[in-house]
Structure 1
Amino acid sequence: MELNAIAGPYDAIFSLGMNCLPAIQLERNGIRPFTGVLDWVNTDYLADVTRMLNKRFADFGLRHNLVSEGPFGDFLLLRDLLNGMVIVHDFPLKRNSATNWPDYDAFRTKMDRRIERFLHKAATCRRILFIRTSGYPHEAQELEQALSTLVKHEFHILLVNHNPVPGLVEDHWPHKHTCAVTLPSQVDIWNANDPHWRHLLQHVKYTG
């Protein structure tokens, strides 16, 4: 799928990780109407995301699967051992510790609401865009298959990898739903590639 094919209006736009970067770029480009399930978690491997989608997030972030990974800035990191993800921004250190998570109930309520919205949008929206950083071609194919069982109408995936390239590179994968591109692996990928992200998303519109 080519980059120009992702242009146009969408009823919903979701980040699929691997970190907070897609959500941040959607916000900066004015097309992030709501928070998604995976906006503020780290998922290193796309295969883990695909498994969560296949399970409809049924065991996402359950307390008995979580272990502390220590502090990160002002937050406590919690790893979901079953789903291969790290919860980054939901447990402030001022209220939570390695052995005590009083914010868990609020986290659970919030995530259940986001999961319900994700599944509802997947079942009802006419056109959805998913954005993911990091993934291989075979993983993207598996992701397409998982989303095909959830999404009832049209969907596209923008998959962004980072490698030592001089600028934005279209990868021209032969996938039906996935447009794969490569961006420069900057020291500061959170900000240095902003012009490339603006180019990627310039013709993407949220209709809501």
Structure 2
Amino acid sequence: MHINELKRRYSAIYSLGQNCYPSIHLRRLGLRPFAGFLDWNLSHSLSGVNRLIKNDFHNFLLLENLAFTNYWLDGKELAFLDTLNDIESVHDFKSPPNTTTSLPSYPEVKAKYDARIKRFMENANTCELILFVRLGGTYIEIKELEEILEEKVKNQFHILFITEASIPKEPKLTHTCIIQTPITTELCLEDTFWNQVFEGITVETP
């Protein structure tokens, strides 16, 4: 797909990671009327995201699979990796009250994600046109994502795939627009780039 084919009005728009920046820019541009299920996480591989969607989010962020990885914001937030799905929560667990070995906020966090997943599953069955935005991944992974979404999304969908990976000259992708560029911190922070990418794209408000 060409980028101009994405310039439509969508029923919903979802970021599929790899980090928070797609969600940040969607919100800045008024294209994120509600939170998605991966907005404030690090999804280290698109394969993990694919597996999560394919399995209908079963066993996502289970307490027994969470492993402490790092401190954020000078120790005010704790990052935990969902080792089963290779997805890292980086902004959900505040410190205090949470510690590296105790998560009293876990029930609230899990309920939040369950609600976001429920909304996505409903949208997948009812929305006329959904846009998915993914930063990072390989051609094989994005092809697999297309195949999974063809099964999970009832109506139409498009994917905006921003990658620095090698892409075949004639990619056999029906729903995906590929932007091939080095993924750097500067790119993630650059308003001009995202403004151009999302120009002409609008979303319905709930």
**Common fold, TM-score beyond 0.5?**
yes
Asked if residue 188 in structure 1 is aligned to residue 206 in structure 2, the reply is no
- Using the size of structure 2 for normalisation, the TM-score is 0.92
3-state DSSP of counterpart to 2:186: coil
Superposed counterparts of 1:123-202, under 5 Å: 123-162=125-164, 173-191=171-189, 193-202=190-199
Distance 2:26 2:170 in 1: 23
Q: State the shift of 1:172 in Å.
A: 7.1
- How far does residue 53 in structure 1 lie from its aligned partner after superposition? 0.4
Residue from 84, 107, 110 that aligns with 2:109: 107
Q: CA deviation at 1:139?
A: 0.8
* Aligned residue number for residue 100 of structure 2: 98
Q: After TM superposition, where is structure 1 displaced by more than 6 Å over at least 4 residues in a row? A: none
Per the alignment, do residues 57 and 101 of structure 1 end up closer, same or farther by CA in structure 2, a change over 3 Å counting? same
Distance 1:172 1:110 in 2: 41
Q: Distance in 2 between matches of 1:89 and 1:172?
A: 39
Provide the residue aligned with 2:9 in structure 1.
Answer: 9
Letter paired with 1:70:
N
Is 1:204 matched with 2:201? yes
Report if the CA contact (8 A) 2:136-2:183 is conserved. Answer: no
2:59 equivalent in structure 1:
59
Report % sequence identity: 37
For 2:203 and 2:23, locate their aligned partners in 1 and report how far apart those are by CA, in whole Å: 14
Q: How far apart are the structure 2 equivalents of 1:46 and 1:184?
A: 17
Unaligned runs of 5+ in 1: 164-170
Q: Alignment RMSD, CA only?
A: 1.5
CA shift at 1:185, angstroms? Answer: 4.1
How far off its partner does 1:183 sit? 3.6
* Local SS of the residue matching 1:190: helix
In 1, Cα distance between equivalents of 2:138 and 2:186: 22
